[in-house]
Amino acid sequence: MSKRARGRRWASGSLRVALVLPLAGAVVAPFIYTVAAGLAGAGDALRSSVGQFVVNSVIFSVVIVAGQVMTSATAAYAFARLRFAGRDHLFLGYLGVLTLPAILLVIPRFLMIDALGWIDTYGGLISTELVSVGGIVFLRQCFGAMPADLEDAARLEGAGEWTIFRRVALPQAGPALLTLALLAFAQQWRSFLWPLVAVRSSQMQVLEVGIAGLRGAREFSGPDPMAGALVAVVPLLILCLVGPRSFVRGTGGAGAGGGAGAAGV
């Protein structure tokens, strides 16, 4: 390569670096500022109302994840492996729910928990989120992909359907269950609309709603909103680091069962 060609290549590379570095700095700078400001005030913020917001978000997310995994697994197994009247039509009804915008269900859900007296309580905040139609559809594909040999052997040994579900099907569905749990946690941790509607007092607010309320509050000016934002991001960053392998394994198993799982619909 001639000196002139090397010079042109060096100049072209230098120009690209000169253009990219300011753009990269503009993208990264707000995040660095948030981390620095959040760490500076993290201790005081977590001792203030932000700490209560975190507790509420942890309770809200963990309980809902446990509920969605349990209800999705039991319903999905029934749709995939059991035979009962109206099974396929009922599943089509579940699929129809997925076509509805979530905003359409907010008012009926609010009226229901209001009638039960559950406004501004954990019961009202959590109860209507315990069933995930998307989770049922996802796990149905996984259970539909499983070979029936182990189940048939368990039936020959006298095992009932509940025993087969608990001791045979669930262990095989481990990666898919973990994937559903990770996705459900990420969704609920950043949930905003329903907690905003179902909660009135600041003591019951989750982190996303609480942070939004801190922006205009004079007494919370300074590092508290930044600390709250940092706390809100950290669990999602952890999921991004530890979740991809489980996500690939879980979705791979569900995708392989697409044909078998959908055959009955």
pLDDT at 240: 78
- Cβ(76)–Cβ(118) under 8 Å? no
- Cβ(38)–Cβ(231) under 8 Å? yes
214, amino acid identity: L
pLDDT at 138: 92
DSSP state, residue 166: I
- Alpha-carbon Rg of the chain, whole angstroms? 24
pLDDT at 195: 94
One of 3.90.1150.10, 3.30.43.10, 3.50.50.60, 1.10.3720.10 is the CATH number of 29-262, namely 1.10.3720.10
Residue 14 in 3-state DSSP?
A: helix
CA–CA separation, 61 vs 206, rounded Å?
10
Q: What is the chain's pLDDT, residue by residue, as a tens digit (265 residues)? A: 566 666 667 666 677 777 777 777 777 776 676 666 655 555 555 556 778 888 999 999 999 999 999 999 999 999 998 888 888 899 998 888 888 888 888 999 999 999 999 999 999 999 999 999 999 999 999 998 888 888 888 888 888 889 999 989 999 898 899 989 999 999 999 999 999 999 988 889 998 888 887 665 544 445 566 667 777 888 888 887 776 666 666 555 544 444 333 333 3
Domains of the chain, by residue range, sit at: 29-262
DSSP string, 99-146: TS-GGGGHHHHHHHHHHTT-TTSHHHHHGGGS--HHHHHHHHHHHHHS
CA–CA separation, 11 vs 6, rounded Å?
9
Which residues 6+ apart lie within 8 Å of 244 measured at CB? none
DSSP state, residue 213: H
pLDDT at 256: 45
